[in-house]
Structure 1
């Protein structure tokens, strides 16, 4: 391991790491909210932009006491609505507002496992999820919107499906409600299924995943991990009380930003919109950022470089995780290597080399030998019959001398294309290089069982033709071709452009679903090869 000083690590901000441990890993969310509301009723839980207030955004905040009342109100509402089966699975599909939180905790209070399915899922996927979860009741918000039409379409397909529009947040807060009793201890409640999430669909149809209180407690346990000398944990321990973290959904017009953020946690295309497209104009608003976390797929090098050059006091880190296993313990990588992932050296995953000559390693999660740390990989709460879990992701060691303990996400096993010759192509080498091209919304390499590789392109602009698009991006493809072996290079004659009427398939995270997208254009790809060989 390389010799590192504190300056090398770039740890200039004194993040708080508590030394007094009180019930970590044994707190239940409804009780934690009630305790916070009693001790600090004006504590701001969250702030959300009000719809229709562009370009001068206004915001609505939610305090702990308001949320606690909203959860109590919704708990009593749910009990009256679903009175026949106290453990019936229910689903919620809603607008992006605080009702997601209140309904989730109200479902925990009342004992109803809650399926949280995305409104961006295709109808067929949500039908599959509801059936797999044995769910016959859907709650929704957004009456009169396309979301309501989505829910009514589900009702028309699934016989006996009940749908109910939930009350507005204003009503949940305004109607004073008594405390809804939730008196279970952690030991009594730890195996209760409280939420059903689902896989992203990046490898096919999304599948429901049952989440227990024991699984959720993993987020409360980072503090118990032994911390190696001169390192800093990445994750929730970086968040500070009463500081603002931007999470997830995009702020569509960032020049109207009026909140001072202290951290940003989001997927790469959001970071690209903030730092790549608007970084220079927003620099004065971003100077107080403590840390920036990117997850979902690798952050483009140009965006990462802008952050490191223009925000030198901000910690940038890449998060690796999954719905089934959350995020394993990670540390902040040293300065200059923030595009790498620093897994905890003793509590992290294992890596198995694909072959003696390969630079690629498959990540493997195994039960920890010390029961004291069995919480570290919550995937074994989801799949208790397993002792080993392989998510199908490939990594390689950092190539810089002295930093081989760092890992770079390389690809998924199903990103590897095996050509008819047996040669292997890592599709991400070119795809990531083109990911921040201003004219491209997405691109995918194809060539499985073929002698040559082609590319499926999706334009950002609806009115651009194939020839114009190809003329604009071909030089970038040629540059990317120089980075890969000859057999992996994209041929100009094998470029296929997606149509506006048939967009490429994406998961709920916004990432491209390779197999489904290539299936959509199977005939066009076949015709491209036939034309190539006939000429």
Structure 2
């Protein structure tokens, strides 16, 4: 690392103190031409007479002369040298001249402009920007600030700082977060900070417990800047906002939307900022500087930002989910037993944790037991996919300490490399080593198995009380918790019998039995079929499936509301409610609504808090960018499971009085979940939609975005006895819900359709049901939408490329895909074309108006012009680099996936991602093998009202090429 810097800077001389001789000598082996010079001890330097060294240049003449090269920290790669000049350091001298915000204090080097001589402590090394400034520049510019240094041969710690505070009444402390956190843990550590004017930390986030404790006795400030940029001008935070940064109004900082509701700081060097921001001095000719630092806006206080981490810190799991590990690492590492924590997971299916103890335990289990509460606290604050499960934790080795930068930050790259093998072994273990097993016990009956299952499920749902018949997925069970349940089941079953068969313990077991009651019964059947009262089969019978749907339909069609519409004059002004705008289709629908000048207001109702930020970020890549700060658009958080969708009463009243169109697009897309898992939020949400629309003053058109899967098995609902190999599915309601595909997703859509149909037939509800087929990537010029790379088709292509084999021309049948922007256009064309006057004028404005019940109208949004997959295959095969002789049947292709060992190779899921949805492709292969009949969806009604669909034409090769290019093929 040092040799690299010497090479880049063409350094020829090295000055060093005698204490560092052992470090300097190895450099001569790397660069024999180096000339090294041992300097005098400090006491001798102080006593020696310095030669006069005149400097006669004026500032204007000298300001661009280089005087120093510092280097970046190297926390995410090799350190980079940064050349600095006189103008760079004149910024610190000018800090005292910056304007003040009334009632606030500027947070810059002028903080050290003490009225009288006062000591301060700095824990940073001289090669760090903060260390150089506090050791060299501050004492020059702010002469009342007297620097207190730590002993040169010992790294600074909280304990050392506490000892220093016994001898000096410090006015301020400038240190990395880890030292502040250690100081808080020292006896009377917080009490000793009462005399401080401020504590300024730099290098990363400060843990919440430490910051909260310190902010009660002094101002806690976060220094933010980079070697390249210098400090960013900010304001000292109010004590209750100590975690936040607030830029000084004079600072020109662009906060650009990035991933998952975060924003990257962007700086544009500006000659006018020369005396304010060092980047304008270090790089005067640079057009833009991307800091790669991510921030989150304060949820309620405008202008406040919380540092979130580096773009380089972001971990991408094998399923494409991304997360920033830094907040969890900071929180976990604040435990008194630890000096560090590092989270890994790049390319794997879940996150793992390496802990660096202060002293190494003799037993791993009790040590993790003691730490586990703080890990669970970190998990509670992290995204679901970023949680740490107990089986994914290891302890560092005393012989391999974490690598750290000068500011105390763990160097993720080199430390991860040290523990590469240990981390890989964690993922290779089918049964984790450090999990305290929940034992099944010798008694095999339903009572014992239920107790065993209950304890395991509660381990995955810490702090919850779960009824035996409650659906896991309604409670929020995600893929990571599912994996934890599976892991605990394997450990528990093997704890009593080391040779027990556990091959049947899989995600499918949990998906098909998503309650304690059902899972316990399934476990008992697999372990001891004789003890089980009823056999456990894959799925349920068709009769049971239909009965379950019919019971749910009956439940949500009881006591349907009477309409409460008022008589109003006919109005062409359109006021829209749209749900699910953060998804691919929802965003396209929103853009379509914005393009229609007849639309006066758009209320976006989404379940997530940061919907506006996510949509804003998505639309920023369009050309030209689409602005959602349009006065017509508003975003609101909704809970579809509650009456009025959980909206504030004033907002609900406003929407009931104005809404003319409701487009309900939000729905969980998960083909593994059972029907019951869709009930609490989505099916109940449909009934709440019916109730809400009945209370509207207008008679709004309710548009439900359904799926062709709701009727894909149409033949099962007919009694025609036709022997035709082709089924044509009409745009109407089937005779029974058996027409739905046997997946919870399809069944939930079918149930929703029938609830809406009942509402339309017994009230005057104005309902359109649009069944959407396969949505492809957009084709419109400048459209920034993308076909999600984690859907089945791009997964098929990526896996085919890795296998060197691709499914043959029969595998996908006929392609009837519709680009996402065309789907949105078709939806809006159908809505507006069928918007007949919904109210009859009346002489009395409050008179009740009702229209005769009309059945819902059904439309299929699939491509009317189908094209065989076989016609695309040669071009796709060439682009993937696959030979013609490697074209295989779908069944053979799936067979290749079934041979893969996910446990032994972490790259399998990343390079061959189709393995993650293997059941989907198995069903596709089985259909091809059995010669399943072709299905055609009638589009007569949709084409009659939608020119975009009518004129679309078959999928073109150029579209396919663009889609493949967007996925990197």
Decide: shared fold, TM above 0.5: yes
Question: Residues 347-403 of structure 1: CA distance to partner in whole angstroms, max 9, x if unpaired?
Answer: 241101126xx42111111124xx44333332233333311101210001112x3x2
Please give the residue correspondences for 1:192-341 in structure 2 after superposition, counting only pairs within 5 Å.
Answer: 192-239=65-112, 240=114, 241-248=116-123, 249=150, 250=156, 252=160, 254-255=162-163, 257-278=166-187, 280=188, 283=191, 285-309=192-216, 311=217, 314-341=218-245
Counterpart secondary structure, 2:24? helix
Name the CA distance, whole Å, in 2 between partners of 1:281 and 1:405. Answer: 32
The answer for the alignment partner of 1:12 in structure 2 is: none
- Bigger CA drift: 382-391 or 202-211? 382-391
Supply the distance in 2 between the matched residues of 1:435 and 1:139 (Cα, whole angstroms).
Answer: 36
1:474 aligns with 2:372: yes
Give the conservation status (yes or no) of the 8 Å contact 1:255–1:282: no
Matches within 5 A, 1:96-115: none
Residue equivalent to 1:136? 12
**3-state DSSP class of the match of 2:377?**
helix
Distance (whole Å) between structure 2 residues aligned to residue 408 and residue 217 of structure 1: 28
Contact 2:68 2:85 in 1 (8 A): yes
Number of residue-to-residue matches in the alignment: 397
CA offset at residue 298 of structure 1?
A: 0.9
For residue 389 of structure 2, the aligned residue among 474, 491, 500 is 491
Q: Which has the higher strand share?
A: 1
Distance in 1 between residues matched to 2:357 and 2:36, nearest whole Å: 38
User: Which residue of 1 is the match for residue 26 of structure 2?
Assistant: 153
Alignment-derived partner of residue 444 in structure 1 = 342
Residues 162 and 183, structure 2, Cα contact 8 Å, conserved in 1: yes
The 4+ residue runs of structure 1 with deviation greater than 6 A are none
Please tell me whether the aligned partners of residues 328 and 348 of structure 1 are also in contact (alpha carbons under 8 angstroms): no
- Cα offset, 1:438, TM superposition: 1.2
Specify the alignment match of 1:513 in structure 2: 411
**Equivalent residues in 2 for 1:450-465, closer than 5 Å:** 450-462=348-360, 464-465=362-363
Q: Deviations over 1:490-515 (max 9, x none)?
A: 12222232211111221121101112
Structure 2: 5+ residue stretches without partners: 124-149, 151-155, 431-901, 905-969
Cα distance in 1, alignment partners of residues 189 and 303 from structure 2? 37
**Whole-Å Cα distance in 2 between the matches of residues 338 and 429 of structure 1?**
16
C-alpha offsets along residues 227-278 of structure 1, whole Å, 9 cap, x if unaligned?
2332210122221142211112437162462111111111112212223323
Question: Structure 1 pair 281/430, CA: closer, same or farther in 2 (3 Å)?
Answer: closer
SS across alignment from 2:413: helix
Give the Cα separation in 1 of the matches to 2:382 and 2:167: 44
Q: Determine which of 502, 505, 515 is the counterpart of 2:400.
A: 502
Backbone CA RMSD of aligned residues: 2.1
Structure 1 Cα separation of the partners of residues 335 and 193 of structure 2 = 24
Provide the rounded CA distance (Å) in 2 between the counterparts of 1:281 and 1:426: 30
Q: Which protein shows a greater Rg?
A: 2
CA 1:426 to 1:134, structure 2 compared with 1: closer, same or farther past 3 Å? same
Cα distance in 2, alignment partners of residues 376 and 386 from structure 1: 16
Is the alpha carbon distance of 1:504 and 1:175 closer, same or farther for their aligned partners in structure 2, counting shifts above 3 Å? closer
CA distance in structure 2 between the partners assigned to 1:286 and 1:453 by the alignment = 37
Q: Take 1:472 and 1:426, find their aligned partners in 2: how far apart are those partners?
A: 25
Q: What TM-score does the superposition give when structure 1 sets the normalisation length? A: 0.70
Structure 1 residue 396 corresponds to structure 2 residue 296: yes
| Structure 1 pair 154–404 and aligned structure 2 pair: CA distance change class (3 A) | same
CA contact (8 A) 1:139 1:166 kept: yes
Structure 1 residues 221, 498: closer, same or farther in 2, change over 3 A? same
Query: Is contact 2:269-2:279 (8 Å) kept?
Result: no
Deviation (angstroms), 1:485: 3.3
Structure 1 counterpart of 2:277, from 363, 377, 402: 377
Find the partner of 1:176 among 49, 66, 73: 49
Distance in 1 separating the partners of 2:190 and 2:105: 28
- In structure 1, how many angstroms separate the alpha carbons of the residues matched to 2:41 and 2:273? 42
Q: Which residue of 2 aligns with 1:342?
A: 246
For the structure 1 residues 414 and 345, does the alpha-carbon distance in structure 2 shift closer, same or farther, using more than 3 Å as the test? Answer: same
User: Given that residues 177 and 202 in structure 2 are in contact (C-alpha distance below 8 angstroms), is that contact kept between their aligned partners in structure 1?
Assistant: yes
Q: In the alignment, which residue of structure 2 is the partner of 1:188?
A: 61
SS of aligned partner of 1:470: helix
What residue number does 1:387 align with? 287
Structure with the greater relative contact order (CA < 8 A, sep ≥ 6): 1 or 2? 1
Contact 1:365 1:377 in 2 (8 A): no
1:429 aligned counterpart, secondary structure: helix
Once residues 168 and 327 of structure 2 are traced to their aligned partners in structure 1, the CA distance between those partners, rounded to angstroms, is: 37
Which of 303, 307, 312 in structure 2 is aligned with 1:405?
Answer: 303
Cα separation, 2, equivalents of 1:176 and 1:448: 57
Structure 1 residue 170 displacement after superposition: 2.5
Closer, same or farther in 2 for the Cα pair 1:410/1:188, shift >3 Å? Answer: same
Query: C-alpha separation between the residues in 1 aligned to 2:49 and 2:35?
Result: 28
Larger deviation, residues 237-246 vs 191-200? 237-246
Q: Secondary structure at the match of 1:292?
A: strand
**2:61, 2:325 → 1: CA distance?**
48
Equivalent residue, structure 1, for 2:558: none
Contact 2:108 2:234 in 1 (8 A): yes
Q: Deviations over 1:316-372 (max 9, x none)?
A: 2111111111111111122311111111124241101126xx42111111124xx44
Conservation of the 8 A alpha-carbon contact between 2:63 and 2:87: yes
Q: CA separation in 1, counterparts of 2:308 and 2:211? A: 17
Decide whether the 8 Å contact of 2:269 with 2:284 is kept in 1.
no
Q: Which residue of 2 aligns with 1:529?
A: 427
Scaled by the length of structure 2, what TM-score is found? 0.39
> Any idea what the Cα deviations from partners look like across 1:51-101, whole Å, max 9, x if unmatched?
xxxxxxxxxxxxxxxxxxxxxxxxxxxxxxxxxxxxxxxxxxxxxxxxxxx
Q: Is the 8 A contact 1:454 1:492 kept in 2?
A: no
**Matches of 2:258 and 2:190 in 1, distance apart?**
44
Unpaired runs of at least 5, structure 1: 1-124
CA distance in 2, matches of 1:230, 1:365: 27
| Correspondence 1:126 to 2:126 | no
Partners of 1:468 and 1:136 lie apart in 2 by 54
The alpha-carbon deviation at position 488 of structure 1 amounts to 1.5
Greater Cα offset, 381-390 or 331-340: 381-390
Kept in 1, the 8 Å contact 2:190–2:214? The answer is no
C-alpha separation between the residues in 2 aligned to 1:247 and 1:443? 24
Partner residue in 2 for 1:43: none
- Cα distance, 1:470 vs. partner? 2.2
Q: Distance in 2 between matches of 1:335 and 1:160?
A: 54
